[in-house]
Structure 1
């Protein structure tokens, strides 16, 4: 399912797009507005994956909105003026629909987007999961690495802490796991711990805080230099 919003200063244009969206099973309309400034707030609040964006609007044009929002959002431009198409495509929009928008043309645009979205999602899934051997003989468990908060090594096995508080025991060496997960945003900070940088919330002296965990994890002396080099590379200072 792709959540979408419509930003268009003409209500009748919004109504037509709503009719089209209602006929497409993978689109879910979460908001509409005729005010482009309000549209910017909606983008922040609702975080839609797709925006149907009019070009010609008072106070703020669609092209100006394009320049203000992140590049992770799909954009389909809508307008009665085809001469704006080139500038829209320069901003990597998905498609450009001329008003009045026929359903068959609308369907062609969103179907192409759906195909691209699914292929991208599949690639992301392939890049972010691992299989581990569990305590049960012959059983392999698929784990989404994005949901791992930290991993504790206990000799010949590890305990993987998930963001929903599940603990998964797997028969692996921490060193082997650290090498494999390093490309996925994990870093070893202690002989017994690997942490997820995306779940790291604070650094307090020689300890780190992990999301949803009450106890901090100590940074081992042997790993301190490499860890703080990584932190300093992202440190903002005046």
Structure 2
């Protein structure tokens, strides 16, 4: 679990981050502040593992605060101004998020921190496993999360599809599964589907294709923007043409 503090002079920006954080199982908010001076005192007192820090604030800017915050706290900058990104990265921040912060972009940033955090503790194969409730009362099934290709939600239960075509029925709602698996490379693309990004093979219009699955999965309207915002962060762009005359 990573304790985090949010410092932003706009309450609605804090509220949005609180909403995002509530969907990530390894993050816990221990404090928020709209006043950067009070926020700095909070960080000094609580020593959180992560600080979400706005750039443009009265009395004390986020860039100025970077120089005062202990190196023990990781920083994710948030702002509406792209031009501050370079200066933020010079202070070795984890990431730089543009407002309004989209969930998938947020998830990419905190997963990067979780990777850093995990590298500081011994890693075991057990880190890849999850336990789910099955059809049989009182029985829990151990599953290697790396082998899950996608999950299909059906009312009060879900079908977990594995890479060997095996299907596992679990009495968990898709919301619960989404919250538990978001840090493991899974993303919800539809009210009825969660997919594994490692098993995603193609995006075709408003459909995604999953490894070894014949039928594509539709990207739901409510999830489309966040999904494509995330995809765009992975997009390779071509260099500009060389119009120089030899």
- Structure 1 length normalisation: TM-score? 0.51
For residues 48-197 of structure 1, the aligned pairs below 5 Å read 48-122=48-122
Shift of 1:100: 0.4
Shift of 1:121: 2.6
Residue 210 of structure 1 aligns with which residue? Answer: none
Residue 39 of structure 1 aligns with which residue? Answer: 39
- Verify the 8 A CA contact 2:47 2:72 in the aligned structure 1: no
Shift of 1:122: 2.9
3-state SS, counterpart of residue 96 of structure 2? strand
3-state SS, counterpart of residue 87 of structure 2? helix
Provide the C-alpha distance between the structure 2 equivalents of 1:35 and 1:104, rounded to a whole number of angstroms.
27
Provide the C-alpha distance between the structure 2 equivalents of 1:4 and 1:19, rounded to a whole number of angstroms.
13
Residue 178 of structure 1 aligns with which residue? Answer: none
- Verify the 8 A CA contact 2:7 2:53 in the aligned structure 1: yes
Between the two proteins, the alignment pairs up a number of residues equal to: 123
Residue 177 of structure 2 aligns with which residue? Answer: none
- Higher Cα Rg, which structure: 1
1:180-211, CA deviations, whole angstroms, 9 ceiling, x for partnerless residues? xxxxxxxxxxxxxxxxxxxxxxxxxxxxxxxx
1:56-109, CA deviations, whole angstroms, 9 ceiling, x for partnerless residues? 000000011100111121000000001000000000000000000000000011
3-state SS, counterpart of residue 88 of structure 1? helix
Provide the C-alpha distance between the structure 1 equivalents of 2:87 and 2:99, rounded to a whole number of angstroms.
17
Coordinate RMSD, CA, aligned: 1.0
Shift of 1:44: 1.4
Provide the C-alpha distance between the structure 1 equivalents of 2:88 and 2:6, rounded to a whole number of angstroms.
16
Higher-RCO chain (CA-CA 8 Å, sequence separation at least 6): 2
3-state SS, counterpart of residue 86 of structure 2? helix
Provide the C-alpha distance between the structure 2 equivalents of 1:35 and 1:122, rounded to a whole number of angstroms.
38
Provide the C-alpha distance between the structure 1 equivalents of 2:106 and 2:91, rounded to a whole number of angstroms.
20
Runs of 4+ more than 2 Å apart: none
Shift of 1:115: 1.1
Provide the C-alpha distance between the structure 2 equivalents of 1:103 and 1:3, rounded to a whole number of angstroms.
19
1:133-160, CA deviations, whole angstroms, 9 ceiling, x for partnerless residues? xxxxxxxxxxxxxxxxxxxxxxxxxxxx
3-state SS, counterpart of residue 78 of structure 1? strand
Structure 2, gaps ≥5 residues long? 124-246
